Amino acid sequence: MTQERGVAVSYFLARAPTGPGSRPASSSSTCESIDYMQRARTTLRPGTLLASALQELDTALRSSRTSVAIATPFMSLPVAERLIRAADEGKATERRLITAVNDGAVSGGYLDPHAIEAFIEAGFNVRSLRNLHAKVVLVDERWGIVGSGNLTAAGLDGGNAELGVVLSVQQTATARDHHFTSWWRAAEQIDIARLRSLAQSYRPVSPRRREREGQGGIWKPDDRSPPRLPKRRSTGGYWLKIMYDLPGRHPASHWRTASWISDRHTLADDGRPLRRPTYEIGDHLVVYLSGGETPVCPAILKVTAEAIFDPERVRREGREGDADRWAWLTEVDCVRMVEVPDAPTLSEIGVASESVRQQGHIHLTPTQYRRAFDALNS
3 state SS of 236: coil
Q: Which of 198, 213, 228 lies at the terminal end of a domain, its last residue?
A: 213
Residues 152 and 37 placed together within one structural domain of the fold: yes
Instruction: Write the DSSP assignment of 57-105 as a string of letters.
Output: HHHHHHT-SSEEEEE-S-B-HHHHHHHHHHHHHS--SEEEEEE---HHH
Residues 179 and 306 placed together within one structural domain of the fold: no
pLDDT of residue 157: 66
pLDDT of residue 67: 94
Q: Which of 213, 248, 275 lies at the terminal end of a domain, its last residue?
A: 213
Residues of the domain holding 79: 27-213
For 159-217, the pLDDT digits (tens) are 678 889 999 999 999 999 999 999 999 999 988 888 888 888 776 655 444 544 444 44
The answer to whether position 8 is within a domain reads no
The number of C-alpha atoms within 13 Å of 91 and in the hemisphere containing its C-beta is 10
pLDDT of residue 224: 37
For 136-155, the pLDDT digits (tens) are 999 998 899 999 988 887 77
pLDDT of residue 204: 65
Residues 153 and 264 placed together within one structural domain of the fold: no
Residues 266 and 161 placed together within one structural domain of the fold: no
Confidence of residue 92 (pLDDT cuts 50, 70, 90): very high
- C-alpha 70/C-alpha 120 separation (Å) is 13
DSSP state of 19: S
Q: Which of 213, 247, 281 lies at the terminal end of a domain, its last residue?
A: 213
- Look at the pTM and tell me if it is higher than 0.95: no
- C-alpha 189/C-alpha 194 separation (Å) is 11
- C-alpha 55/C-alpha 53 separation (Å) is 6
196: enclosing H helix or E strand: helix 192-199
Residues 246 and 112 placed together within one structural domain of the fold: no
Residue 179's closest CA among 190, 167, 191? 167
Residues 266 and 299 placed together within one structural domain of the fold: yes
| CB atoms closer than 10 angstroms to residue 115 | 25
Considering just the CA atoms, what is the radius of gyration of the chain in Å? 23
3 state SS of 364: coil
pLDDT of residue 155: 77
Residues 45 and 178 placed together within one structural domain of the fold: yes
Residues 161 and 247 placed together within one structural domain of the fold: no
CATH code of residue 346:
3.10.590.10
The answer to whether position 9 is within a domain reads no
27: enclosing H helix or E strand: helix 27-39
Contact present, 243 and 287 (Cβ < 8 Å): yes
The answer to whether position 118 is within a domain reads yes
For 307-339, the pLDDT digits (tens) are 999 999 999 998 888 999 999 999 999 999 999
pLDDT of residue 158: 60
- C-alpha 311/C-alpha 303 separation (Å) is 19
Domain count across the chain: 2
The answer to whether position 152 is within a domain reads yes
CATH code of residue 196:
3.30.870.10
Average pLDDT, the chain: 80
Those residues with Cβ within 8 angstroms of residue 5's Cβ, 6 or more apart along the chain or in another chain: 131
Residues 200 and 266 placed together within one structural domain of the fold: no
Residues 207 and 243 placed together within one structural domain of the fold: no
The answer to whether position 223 is within a domain reads no
Instruction: Write the DSSP assignment of 138-174 as a string of letters.
Output: EETTTEEEEES--BSHHHHSSSS---EEEPPHHHHHH
Residues 71 and 199 placed together within one structural domain of the fold: yes
- C-alpha 87/C-alpha 166 separation (Å) is 18
Residues 172 and 91 placed together within one structural domain of the fold: yes
The answer to whether position 313 is within a domain reads yes
List residues bridging with 12 in a β-sheet.
none
With 60 as the cut, is the pLDDT of residue 364 above it?
Answer: yes
Lowest mean pLDDT among 114-128, 197-211, 245-259, 329-343: 197-211
The answer to whether position 231 is within a domain reads no
| CB atoms closer than 10 angstroms to residue 23 | 9
The answer to whether position 1 is within a domain reads no
For 7-63, the pLDDT digits (tens) are 333 333 333 343 434 444 444 444 444 444 444 444 478 888 888 888 888 889 999
With 70 as the cut, is the pLDDT of residue 344 above it?
Answer: yes
pLDDT of residue 4: 38
